[in-house]
Structures are given as structure tokens and as C-alpha cells.
Amino acid sequence: MTGRLFEGADWDFHTLQRITDACEEVALKDLGLDVYPNQIEVITAEQMLDAYSSVGMPLFYKHWSFGKQFAYHEASYRKGLMGLAYEIVINSSPCISYLMEENTATMQTLVIAHAAFGHNHFFKNNYLFKQWTDAEGILDYLDFAKNYVMQCEERYGRIEVERTLDAAHALMSHGIDRYPGKKTLDLRAEEKRAGRRRQHEEEVFNDLWRTVPAGKSKTRSALSIERRRKLLGLPQENLLYFLEKSAPRLAPWQRELLRIVRHIAQYFYPQSQTKVMNEGTATYVHYRIMTALHQQGRITDGNFLEFLGSHTNVVFQPEFDDPRFSGFNPYALGFAVMQDIERIVTNPEDEDREWFPDIAGKNDVMGVLRDVWANYRDESFIAQFLSPRLMRHFRMFHLHDDPEERAGIRVDAIHDDRGFRRVRRELARQHDVGYIDANIEVVDVDLSGDRRLILHHHVIKGSQLNETDAKRVLQHLADLWTYDVSLIEVDANDKVLREYVVSPRPIPAAVA
């Protein structure tokens, strides 16, 4: 074996190169990972703050909300309320990892193992990322988006563009296709398409058409409800998509902006569904790599202890009555489940054989884990692999809080034989985006009448929308739709709980 990778805490670029090579050897040979080419960039704290405010991406279009983010992060960072992340990694090919310059050599090793191999493998192999993101094209697409927004600002004015983007951002969480469509996303083609469309418009522009008298409009009553819904593709839960395709009075550039915001939301959609898995994978991988390097004698005992210090901080799970508690720590949960899978695969107990007959005692740890990483998301991952032993370890319990119940909050299940399955199901559900996001869809448009857009919110467990926010979002929606919009909250029995109606604001004269 070659000697130490580094001594002490200092590093230079040769050290980074050696570290990366050593990590790569372990990752590819021992763990059998499959990664995108790596690109490692060293950045300063200020650049890290910059990255924070543009959702971690190296380039992004300009918008005031990112400035707000930046101001906020900067203030809390300066006051010492917030530490900065050690790294940021981008799901792109090549996979870009940003490392903070302040990190010690040990931390750089940890971070490279974590991001450049752990996250990287997950990005490349998980089915959600394969389905919904285009790692090859994302940076080019963001570049296109940035330039497109800039051009729009030049052509149509900053305020107009800002208004459209504000509205699009408000609807961003409902601008996602949740079910795989006909084709996978090709962001490079997107960019070309937008260019072609504009060119076509310019080529075929003929002012004469404006003066041609319009024929008699078709009788709308002929459109049956079914046909109308089919034509408009209803019901539609992707509100941004619906507006882009069907809003009657949007300019082409506004549709393109909606499309950009929609694509970006879609790009981040897998990340929100795989937080536990993604961090768990990266943590598991860095743990394995660091341990291997230590065993090979390539990092010293002292450095390894430093690593263990940070590692335990990362996977620390405070208990529910701890003031530091703020939900399950995805690093802790993900890492624990993956280590538990390792144990089940290599050294199962009877309980494990009963609960996990497929993997118990299979002895191929990495084979099983690679399969898990590729084919699950948080919800299904927890539902499948959270073992009774781990539930006991975390001492999990399930609370059911029904406001109607006078006696208080009921403890519905605890970590015992009766409760294991219920606790597990409930925890899985907490990680299901289908459950977390409000289920809102466009159901109809009153085409023969006042063109009102009708949306339904299917209320689950009596949890309705926050009123002030709902009104504001609907206002944005109405401004884009340019006619009235109504949102009806219905419960499982189709009982109407509440109805919002919002009219579009008249387009104001430019407000400075």
C-alpha cells in the first residue's frame, strides 16, 4: 500500500488529487460504485453563500427572491447562528462538488467520499433521477434559462418578467409531473426548441393577418363536458403545465418562462423524494471509504478520530423531547437503515429472517445496497427496510393528534410487536411527497360562460390550506389565467368545505 495521504490538517491541490484517487479506488473496487466523472471545485465562504441563494446551482437566472435568500443567509452566517455546509454537490455530468476552503484535510477526504462518490452514485443510479433529471443537460439548460430571462427583461421590461416569475414561483410546488410521461426529459433539445420557436415566429410574421376579418366563432355549446375536459387534458395537477398550454392570454415568452420554472421544479423533484436515501447513501459510502482508508493506513489514527467526531455529529438524532429536536434527521435515519441492511445481509437474526426473507443472510452487502439505492425512494425504502430492531433502537412511537379528541394526543403505536408495522407505515407516509404536498388539480374551465378556472383541493385528514397564502397564490394564478379562478376544497366524500374565488388584478401601469 502506498503511504499516508496527508499529515495534519493542511492540504494543497496535490493532496486533493491523491485523496480523490484513493477514494476512487475504494469506491470503484471495493464498493463497486458507478459514478459520473467528477469535478471538484474549491470555493470560499462567500461563494458558498452565493450557491445557497441559487439553490446550490452554479448559475441561475436573476430574481429578487434569491437576493432575499442571500441577505438572510448572510445575516445569520455573520451572526454565527448558522454554519455553512462543508460541501454542495450538483446532480450533473460531470458531477460538480464544491468544497469549502476552510475544511481540514480530513474533512476534505470525508467530503469527497461523501459527495463525489456517495451522492454521485445515487444521482447516476436511482430510478427517480434517471426518470426525471437530465444530468448531462442541466447546466446548459440553466445557462439557457438565465440568458432567456435576461433577454425577456430587455425586450419586455424587468417588471413584467418579474411579475410572471413571481407567479410561477408561487405555483412551483404544483408545477411537477408526478407520473412518468411519454418521453424522458432532454434539456438540450429544450433549449434548441425555444430558439427554433422564436425564429419561426419571426420568419412567419406577417402583419397582414392582423387585418383579416375573423370568421364566425364556433358554437361553444357543441363542446360537451367530456370532450372539453379531454381537449384541455383535465384533470391536471401540474398547474404550471396547464397554464403554459391553455392560459388564453399569455404571451409566448411568458409561457416559456413558466416552462423554465416547471423544468427546474421537476429537476429538484427527485431530491425532495429521496432526502433520507440520498443522504443515507452518501453517509454510508463516506463511512465505508474512510474506514477502508484508515485500515489501509492511509490516514492516521488522529485524522480518523477527527473524522469520527464529524461523522457522529452528522448522524446525531436528538430525541423528541430534546430542545434540538426538529424531526427525523435524514442523515441519521438513512445511515442507520443502511447499516442495518448490512447487518441483516451478513449477520441476520431470526427476527430478520422473518421480516426480510429476501435479503437476510445473502452475504452480498454491496449488491443488495446497490439494488436498494437504484430502485427505491424514501417512502418505499422506509416501508421496506425499516427493521423492528431499528425501531427499538430509535424507540419510535406514533402520535395521533385529532383536534376533536378531548382527552389529548393519543399514542397510537409504540415499538412493540403490535406496533412495528403501524409505526413503519406511518413513518413511510411522512416521507411520501404525495401525502405532504396539497393535492390540488384543475378540474374544469367554464368555456361557455365566464371562462372561470375551477380547481379542487382534495382535503386529507381535514388539513385545509392556509388562508392568507392560498389567497395570494390564487391571485398569482388568476393573474396568469386572466379570468376568475375558483378553488374548492372538498373532503373525501366530495363535501365542499370551502370555496375561494379570486379575480385577476388589472395589469397595473409599471410600478417602479
For residues 182 and 67, give the distance between their C-alpha atoms in angstroms, rounded to a whole number. 37
Cβ pair 394, 337 in contact under 8 A: no
Nearer to other proteins, 72 or 496 (CB): 72
* Residue found under cell 421544479: 265
Task: Please choose, from the candidates 371, 344, 339, 340, the residue with its C-alpha nearest in 3D space to the C-alpha of residue 360.
Answer: 344
Asked if 400 is part of the footprint of other proteins (rule: CB under 8 A), the reply reads: yes
Q: Which stretch binds other proteins (CB under 8 A): 35-43, 119-127, 299-307, 339-347?
A: 35-43
Query: Quick check: 47 binds other proteins (CB under 8 A)?
Result: yes
Does residue 72 touch other proteins according to CB under 8 A? yes
Q: Is 507 in the site for other proteins (CB under 8 A)?
A: no
Residue 40 belongs to what H/E stretch?
A: strand 38-43
Among the listed residues 9, 55, 85, 94, the single contact to other proteins using CB under 8 A: 94
Which CB sits closer to other proteins, 75 or 507?
75
168/473 Cα distance (integer angstroms): 10
- Residue 25 engages other proteins in binding (rule: CB under 8 A): no
For residue 205, what is its C-alpha cell? 410574421
430 touches other proteins by CB under 8 A: yes
Closest to other proteins by CB, 20 or 303? 20
For other proteins, the binding residue among 6, 11, 20, 244 (CB under 8 A) is: 20
Q: Alpha-carbon torsion 34, 384, 285, 290, what sign?
A: negative
Shortest Cβ 185–other proteins spacing (Å): 24
As measured in angstroms, the least distance from the Cβ of 210 to other proteins is 36
Task: Please identify which residue in 3, 213, 215, 403 interacts with other proteins, judged by CB under 8 A.
Answer: 403
- Should residue 62 be labelled a site residue for other proteins when binding is judged by CB under 8 A? yes
- Say if strands 485-490 and 453-458 run parallel, antiparallel, or are unpaired: parallel
Query: Interface mask (CB under 8 A) for other proteins, residues 449-478, using x and -?
Result: --------x-xxxxxxxx-xxx-xx--x--
Closest CA to 26 of 110, 113, 123: 113
366/438 with CB nearer other proteins: 438
Q: Which three cell numbers stand for residue 502?
A: 379570486
The least distance separating other proteins from the CB of residue 386, rounded to whole angstroms, comes to: 10
Q: Does 316 bind other proteins (CB under 8 A)?
A: no
Q: What is the DSSP letter of 102?
A: T
Which residues, 173 to 192, sit near other proteins by CB under 8 A?
Answer: 173-174
Position 482 contacts other proteins (CB under 8 A) = no
Window contacting other proteins (CB under 8 A); options: 72-80, 196-204, 263-271, 348-356: 72-80
Burial of 278 (0-12, 13-18, 19+ CB in 10 A): buried
Rounded-to-integer distance, Cα 46 and Cα 35, Å? 29
Which residue number, 202 or 319, has a Cβ lying nearer to other proteins? 319
- Which of 16/128 has CB closer to other proteins? 16
Q: For residue 238, what are the contacts with CB-CB under 8 A and spacing of at least 6?
A: 174, 175, 176, 177, 178, 262
Q: How far apart are CA 82 and CA 48, in angstroms?
A: 13
Of positions 7, 30, 41, 499, contacts other proteins by CB under 8 A:
41
Footprint on residues 360-399 left by other proteins (CB under 8 A):
394-399
Contact with other proteins (CB under 8 A) among 322, 354, 364, 371: 322
Cβ proximity to other proteins, 359 vs 398, nearer residue: 398
Q: How far is the CB of 223 from other proteins (least distance, A)?
A: 30
Residue 216: CB atoms within 10 Å: 5
CB 258 within 8 A of CB 310: no
Shortest Cβ 405–other proteins spacing (Å): 8
Which of 62, 28, 40, 12 lies closest to 112, judged by CA? 40
DSSP β-bridge partners for residue 95: 38
Provide the β-strand partners of residue 499.
488
Q: Which CB, 89 or 473, lies closer to other proteins?
A: 473
Q: Least distance to other proteins from the beta carbon of 341, Å?
A: 19
Check binding of 102 to other proteins (CB under 8 A).
no
Q: Is 240 in the site for other proteins (CB under 8 A)?
A: no
Let me know if 28 is exposed, middle or buried by CB neighbors in 10 A (0-12, 13-18, 19+): middle
Determine which residue in the list 4, 29, 68, 200 makes contact with other proteins, applying CB under 8 A: 68
The closest alpha carbon to 280, from 342, 218, 356, belongs to 342
Q: Rule CB under 8 A: choose which of 190, 256, 378, 426 binds other proteins.
A: 426
What is the CB-side half-sphere exposure of residue 377 using CA atoms within 13 A?
A: 18
Rounded alpha-carbon distances, angstroms, from residue 467 to 248, 297, 403: 27, 60, 19
Binders of other proteins among residues 193 to 232 (CB under 8 A) are: none
Per CB under 8 A, does 165 bind other proteins? no
Backbone angles phi, psi at 383, to 5 degrees: -60, -30
Sole binder of other proteins in the list 113, 135, 314, 440 (CB under 8 A): 440
Q: Which of residues 255-294 bind other proteins (CB under 8 A)?
A: none
| Angle CA 328–279–295, to nearest 5 | 115
Report DSSP state, residue 404: T
Nearer to other proteins, 155 or 320 (CB): 320
Question: Among residues 258 and 359, whose Cβ is nearest to other proteins?
Answer: 258
Pick 351 or 437: Cβ nearer other proteins: 437
> Which helix (DSSP H) or strand (DSSP E) does residue 443 occupy?
strand 439-445
Asked whether position 109 contacts other proteins by CB under 8 A, the answer is no
